[in-house]
Amino acid sequence: MRYLITGANRGIGLEFVKQLVANGDTIFATARNREAATELNELAKTGQVFPIELDVTDVDSVAQAREVVGAKTDAIDVLINNAGAFFDRNEKLATFNPDAMRKTFETNTIGTMNVTKAFADLLNAGNNPRLVNISSNLGSLTTLGRNRSGDYSYNASKAALNMLTRMLSYDLPDVTVICVHPGWVQTDMGGSRAAITPEASVEGLLGLIGRLTPADTNSFFGWTGEDWAW
């Protein structure tokens, strides 16, 4: 299968690339700084990985990446909008910084739209095409809990991403559109005390992606494939 994965130079994105290489898939793996993406460039030696420079917040960069990918393939089967950022840790009402919220939405929410818009035609041409937005339990209005305050920017950006997932499922009727909570994962973002390894998260997510059918569109799943409450 042909995958496009954003933010693939480290963390969960890089782990996707590693496991997909082992599966024999082709991966267009994006990084903001392609030259510095050492592990991706190493994986490119397999001939299955094409590192592509892409900043999800920059429409020119996205358009350029679309051209590069379009020169190599006429279709993508799975687009994983994985790139994400958590700028303002422990953000409280008293410390709220509008610039941090803007930056967070630019990456997690608007960035996802930029990429999806640019690659929608390639995705529509895919085989059983699937669009997977990497969201978070922190974007769930239901499971976040009533007494958890703070982290306004990150949590709201993921809640908005969940809404975009729903809207995109209507706009892309031939694509299975879902969002997922990848678990609390040991990455730069999740920290070393997180509950699960990137290997376990991605293993679960790839199992889920492999089982998806068009009937699953407009759903929110956890990393082991269970339904997650919006």
- Is 35 one of the binding residues for ligand NAP (CB under 6 A)? no
Calpha distance 9→83 (Å, rounded) = 10
Pick the catalytic residue from 3, 45, 92, 158. Answer: 158
Taking CB under 6 A as the criterion, the residue among 188, 211, 213, 215 binding ligand NAP is 188
In the residue annotation, 3 being an active-site residue is answered as no
Q: For residues 182 and 201, is the Cβ–Cβ distance under 8 A?
A: yes
10 lies in the site for ligand NAP, by CB under 6 A: yes
- Residues 6+ away with beta carbon under 8 Å from 142: 229, 230
Give the nearer residue to ligand NAP in terms of CB position, either 103 or 166.
103
Helix (H) / strand (E) containing 181: strand 176-181
Q: Which is nearer to ligand NAP, 84 or 129 (CB)?
A: 84
Given a contact cutoff of 8 angstroms between Cβ atoms, the answer to whether 139 and 82 are in contact is no
Q: Is 9 in the site for ligand NAP (CB under 6 A)?
A: yes
Q: Are strands 78-81 and 2-5 parallel, antiparallel or unpaired?
A: parallel
Q: By CB under 6 A, is residue 180 in contact with ligand NAP?
A: no
Distance in Å, CB of 111 to ligand NAP, minimum = 6
| Residue 125 or 150 with smaller CB distance to ligand NAP | 150
For 26, list phi and psi in degrees, rounded to 5: -105, 130
Q: Least distance to ligand NAP from the beta carbon of 127, Å?
A: 25
Report residue 72 as tokens.
């190599």
- Give the integer Cα–Cα distance in Å for 51 and 33: 10
Task: Give the interface with ligand NAP as residue ranges (CB under 6 A).
Answer: 6-7, 9-13, 32-33, 54-57, 82-85, 107, 111, 134, 136, 182, 184-185, 187-190, 194
